[in-house]
Structure 1
């Protein structure tokens, strides 16, 4: 009797071993390479709310007006490839109804250009590639991957410094759950601006270097747990002018109790976060577990079949004619 390994058993064994090798490869190599900040980003987020702003035409602060903040983020792919980091150019404009749609962002109440450079894996700031200004903190336009239930240092570009955001549980945005972080900024001097003395109650002085002050009554960010994408943002900014050395606000330049992502922006951010999160889950959890489980089963079955072999029917005995010679 002879035993042979069947072709099927060898195929099953080979497939099982391949899947067992593939499972840790997906976890340790493929998924970490997918978990990197994109360089070809091109997104626009819009905040709206009601507030006050200084009308230069009327030379006074007007109230109960619609405030719109538009932020455009575009990745510089060429510089990103050269440096190995994520290089993002950020344009932020603050408008009221009369300056929208903004054909020229210089007509806005406020317009800033920034260049944000981060490590694609850790999200930490990297000081290169003509970064402007010099950033700090752990989060700004996004949080690190695999967001933790702890406080984070978030960069506030208006403050020009970091703000501690505390973890406040979970919150659903458009039916999608994320981690909620909150913080605030106490009134802080952020710079000076030359203005007519009359504007800050210095009537006898033609021009003064007024102090610029900034506060934020409520920063609220909802972040996707896996990708670090911000799916909703709300802030309560206040910018004022004070006479030099004064402890009292003289002019309100901009104030809103709450400006927040529009519904359209929320839906778009949730859509992007959900797609990226599902992809990372597939590479880091679903596919490896499936590959490991299937590979184990196929390997066991293949080994059993190889050991048992394929039984072949015994060869028929040859019958030889014997001739007897009688003498």
Structure 2
């Protein structure tokens, strides 16, 4: 006599068990490894606004000029693969309508190249690969993954130090919600520059080593919570010169209350945030939860069928000899 177990019950039990094992692996192993800074990044962010700038040709500060800041970020794939870090070359140019369009970025009002290196998972600064400048903090071009409702130390390249940005709730950009962070920078001396004495109120001296000062009226960043991508950025830079030991600004190099992502940049950042966040959500939540629920159901059904098959009525074995007269 034999007890038969249906092959289907074993298939269901095996498939259910597999899905139950797969679900936590996706959430705890695959998703954290998918949340890494890219090495092949190639993106451009444009800030626009109005303000005062120092016109070299006129040798004076002119007001109400349209200002465009262009920030290009390109990943160095070879150095990234070699180092295991995210190596990004960043070029920032500041222009007025007078210098746009420029065939050479060096013709801009200001041209600042740099190389930023970060840990791909934590977004923490990594010091290698001829980085420049040497920076610290928790955020610069982006925030870490899984942004929290707390203050973050944001690297301000003009200041050459970190600025504490405080969490200020949520804000929608192009219909997409992100975490809002704000901060300010009080007037701070950042260096010196040799200029004609007349420029800083000392006409009797042909050249002086003027003091460079920097402040920021308002830094506002709106960040995608899951990916740390900045979907909106606004800054209010003020850069001035003072006579050596002076207590007041003698010349304004740049002053704007608001330079912010233009419409095209906002749309592109929101589009990228939606795509990247959706992919991480699928790997870290949607698929694991679905796999867990389906796995539990299949395993339960399979187990029930196995138990029923083993505890069912015995059936005659066709190989038993029959009695004959």
What is the TM-score of this pair, normalised by structure 1? 0.95
What aligned pairs does 1:283-298 form with structure 2 within 5 A after superposition? 283-298=283-298
Answer yes or no: is 1:201 the counterpart of 2:196.
no
The CA distance in 2 between the partners of 1:257 and 1:242, in whole Å, is 20
For 2:105, the equivalent position in structure 1 comes to: 105
For 1:168, the equivalent position in structure 2 comes to: 168
CA RMSD of aligned residues (A): 1.4
Match of 1:3, SS? coil
The CA distance in 1 between the partners of 2:145 and 2:102, in whole Å, is 34
For 1:46, the equivalent position in structure 2 comes to: 46
Compared CA separation, residues 102 and 311, structure 1 to 2 (3 A): farther
Decide which moves more: 133-142 or 9-18. 9-18
The CA distance in 1 between the partners of 2:194 and 2:5, in whole Å, is 89
The CA distance in 2 between the partners of 1:103 and 1:164, in whole Å, is 37
Superposed displacement of residue 161, structure 1: 0.4
Q: Contact between 2:2 and 2:317, CA under 8 Å: does it hold in 1?
A: no
For 1:320, the equivalent position in structure 2 comes to: 324
Q: Contact between 2:76 and 2:87, CA under 8 Å: does it hold in 1?
A: yes
The CA distance in 1 between the partners of 2:283 and 2:144, in whole Å, is 18
For 1:89, the equivalent position in structure 2 comes to: 89
Superposed displacement of residue 318, structure 1: 3.9
The CA distance in 2 between the partners of 1:138 and 1:177, in whole Å, is 21
The CA distance in 1 between the partners of 2:280 and 2:215, in whole Å, is 37
- 1:180-224 per-residue CA deviation (whole Å, 9 max, x = no partner) reads 000000001111111111111101000111111110000000000
- 1:47-91 per-residue CA deviation (whole Å, 9 max, x = no partner) reads 000111011111111111110000000011111111111111100
The CA distance in 1 between the partners of 2:131 and 2:73, in whole Å, is 14
Match of 1:4, SS? coil
In structure 2, the gaps of 5 or more residues are none
- 1:135-182 per-residue CA deviation (whole Å, 9 max, x = no partner) reads 010000000000000000000000000000000000000000000000
Decide which moves more: 58-67 or 306-315. 306-315
- 1:114-136 per-residue CA deviation (whole Å, 9 max, x = no partner) reads 11111111111111111111001
For 2:264, the equivalent position in structure 1 comes to: 264
What aligned pairs does 1:143-162 form with structure 2 within 5 A after superposition? 143-162=143-162
Compared CA separation, residues 16 and 63, structure 1 to 2 (3 A): same
Q: Contact between 1:2 and 1:311, CA under 8 Å: does it hold in 2?
A: no
In structure 1, the gaps of 5 or more residues are 322-327
Match of 2:61, SS? strand
What aligned pairs does 1:155-304 form with structure 2 within 5 A after superposition? 155-304=155-304
For 1:72, the equivalent position in structure 2 comes to: 72
